[in-house]
Structure 1
Amino acid sequence: MSTQTGDPGHGHSPAAWTAVIIMLVAITLGTVALFLDQWTLFYVGVGLLVLGPIVGWILTKAGYGVNGAKSAPKAH
């Protein structure tokens, strides 16, 4: 059971969107590379897949995360 009372925001932030988009591009690139038997391109995709969460974390620390100083909350 969670003791948290507030809504954490579910990742609706520029940091989360940027991380997810980078990882989606990485998975698409890796899939195409495997289809074309291009191992160098595949490993570029793997590198981007690792880079996505790191970029998201950096943007969160820079204030673009949920409830960050530079992130405007959306009205529902």
Structure 2
Amino acid sequence: MAGSSHGHTPAAWTGVTIAFIGFCVSGAFMVMAQPAGFWAGMGVVVLGGVVGWIMSAMGMGQPKDAHKALLMTQERETAAVEG
């Protein structure tokens, strides 16, 4: 997975960062027994997914054909080593 650049985009980083903050907020409010704060944090988690999806749709995510190009490159390298 390290060679595929999976998740190495502004959309992925932003979405995950926002979701992580939401999980931290939810966890803190869960420990404090404050249901409203917990659900507000879960709302931030959902917001992170929405923001990541919107940014990806705006072109800040990984291109759709990037995975196919990577597979073709890996197949060529494997064929060169074997042949």
Question: Same fold judged by TM-score > 0.5?
Answer: yes
After superposing on structure 2, the runs of 4+ consecutive aligned residues of structure 1 that deviate more than 3 Å are none
Shift of 1:9: 2.2
Aligned length: 62
For the pair 1:50 / 2:80, whether they are aligned, the reply is: no
Identity %: 38
CA contact (8 A) 1:8 1:66 kept: no
Find the counterpart in structure 2 of residue 32 from structure 1.
Answer: 28
Rounded to whole Å, the distance in 1 between the matches of 2:42 and 2:20 is: 11
Residues 46-67 of structure 1, C-alpha deviation per residue, up to 9 Å, x if partnerless?
Answer: 1111111111010011111124
CA RMSD of aligned residues (A): 1.7
- TM-score if structure 1 supplies the norm length? 0.73
> In 1, Cα distance between the equivalents of 2:34 and 2:21?
16
- TM-score normalised by the chain length of structure 2: 0.67
- Unaligned runs of 5+ residues in structure 2 are 64-83
Comparing both structures, which one devotes a greater share of its residues to helix? 2
